[in-house]
Structure 1
Amino acid sequence: MKKIKKVFSLLLVVIMAITSTSTAFAISDSSENEPLSEHDQLQADIAVIESVGLDNLQEFYNQNKDWIEDVNNRLEAYLANIPVDQRDAVLKELRDGEFSARAASDYFTSYTYHYRSGWWTYSMTPKLSTRLLRPYAQAGWDELAAIYSGIRNDNGSLSNQYWCHFDLFVEADWDIEEGRPLVSYADTLLALCNPGGGGD
């Protein structure tokens, strides 16, 4: 009887070991096939956007316009569920994998205010996520407004120029000039972001 108990116990241990191993495999197999969470998918998509070189940017944009629009829409929907005061931190975490205080350098590789070609100019080189994803562009604009009183007190002309650069995808560097006339956004687009002429 003791031998039968030992054999039975041993058999039970083997069955339990096999069952737990197959359960572990089933768990790992199912997790490999599960789709990414929206957060993780957005993070992956933003990483793809950030990996594009400036030399290939226009080609990337032309070939992936629908996908970029989809990422924009999904990102905006995702942010709609985040409290407004936390959105900038979430944007930074999605792109950089970390939470920290925001700064204009989170959205632009460079930005400056200077006199150029007869205009006081805000020149900036947007990061790729800022260039292609509206929530990043908006957060970048908000950061510039926090730094520069001219942007903070804008009558609409600077904003139109900024969003024109975003929407037209015109050039690598964005230059928006104080003193350009305030015209409709459609007229700003027709002027290739330089209402009043004389733009670079």
Structure 2
Amino acid sequence: MKNKMKMVFITLTILMVFGNLAPASAATETNEFEYLRDAIATIDAVPFEEVNQYVEDNGEWIDEIGVRLETYIETFPEEQQNDEVKRLLSDDFMVQDANKGANSIQMASLSGNLDEYFTDVWFHLRSGYHTYSMEPKWSVRLWKITMEAAWDELGDNYIGIQYDNGSLWNQYKCHFDYDVFGALAGSWDLEVGRPIVSGVVMVRELCNPE
């Protein structure tokens, strides 16, 4: 009888242990998703005029979010990573309704899933160039993984970006690397027809080389 009771106890213990493993793992993943989503929403909500002070006060935490974001996304297959980034950014969209000027030749509302990455995107004439202009969310300005996901989304929505020869990407990457927190300009402007030049020239020309 004692042996029988012992076996029942052992069996119940094993069931309890293995029964708890899967829910705990799922809960951990869910909690990390929710934590990252809330953190990204908080950062994206910081107004332009307050961002310098916010970064000064919270720089270490922002860096931590970047590391955790990259670690989390790498748990997914590569073909699913952009979709997971999109899910993380999907709940904090706020439209900015503004007239972009008389030279605008396409006042396109955000199409596809661009609103997950940008507060506005428009196509217009700028300094004689047909230009894709955009106002990235802070999450796109801060982290490479969201910046690259946003570029893929631009390509899905604009055929000119999809078939870019490298010029538009170089301008886009330059803004990410050097237009830190929008210090040089609120928008990133990618001008069609700009030459492909070295990184040094890109910086010297403020990302729109002659």
2:73 maps to which residue? Answer: 79
- Partner SS for 1:144: helix
1:122 maps to which residue? Answer: 132
Give the deviation of 1:66 after TM superposition. 4.2
- Partner SS for 1:192: coil
1:92 maps to which residue? Answer: 86
1:106 maps to which residue? Answer: 116
Choose which of 39, 52, 58 in structure 1 pairs with 2:46: 52
Distance 1:49 1:186 in 2: 30
Structure-2 change in CA distance of 1:61 and 1:181 (3 Å): farther
Q: CA RMSD in A?
A: 2.5
Q: Which moved more, 1:59-68 or 1:115-124?
A: 59-68
- Partner SS for 1:60: helix
List alignment gaps of at least 5 residues for structure 2: 1-27, 93-111
1:148 maps to which residue? Answer: 158
2:15 maps to which residue? Answer: none
User: In 1, are the aligned partners of 2:89 and 2:116 still within 8 Å (CA)?
Assistant: no
Distance 1:192 1:65 in 2: 25
Structure-2 change in CA distance of 1:67 and 1:116 (3 Å): same
Distance 1:131 1:118 in 2: 26
Report sequence identity in percent: 41
2:25 maps to which residue? Answer: none
- AA of the residue aligned to 1:192: L
User: In 1, are the aligned partners of 2:167 and 2:194 still within 8 Å (CA)?
Assistant: yes
Distance 1:186 1:64 in 2: 31
User: In 1, are the aligned partners of 2:90 and 2:116 still within 8 Å (CA)?
Assistant: no
Distance 2:125 2:80 in 1: 35
User: In 2, are the aligned partners of 1:188 and 1:195 still within 8 Å (CA)?
Assistant: yes
Distance 2:53 2:129 in 1: 31
Tell me, yes or no, if structure 1 residue 159 matches structure 2 residue 169. Answer: yes
1:40 maps to which residue? Answer: 34
1:189 maps to which residue? Answer: 203
- AA of the residue aligned to 2:159: S
Tell me, yes or no, if structure 1 residue 175 matches structure 2 residue 175. Answer: no
Normalising by the residue count of structure 2, what TM-score does the alignment of the two structures yield? 0.66
Distance 1:187 1:69 in 2: 29
Task: From the CA coordinates, give the structure whose radius of gyration is larger.
Answer: 1
1:30 maps to which residue? Answer: none
Give the deviation of 1:144 after TM superposition. 1.0
User: In 2, are the aligned partners of 1:71 and 1:133 still within 8 Å (CA)?
Assistant: no
Structure-2 change in CA distance of 1:183 and 1:66 (3 Å): farther
List alignment gaps of at least 5 residues for structure 1: 1-33
Aligned residues: 159
Q: Which moved more, 1:38-47 or 1:177-186?
A: 38-47
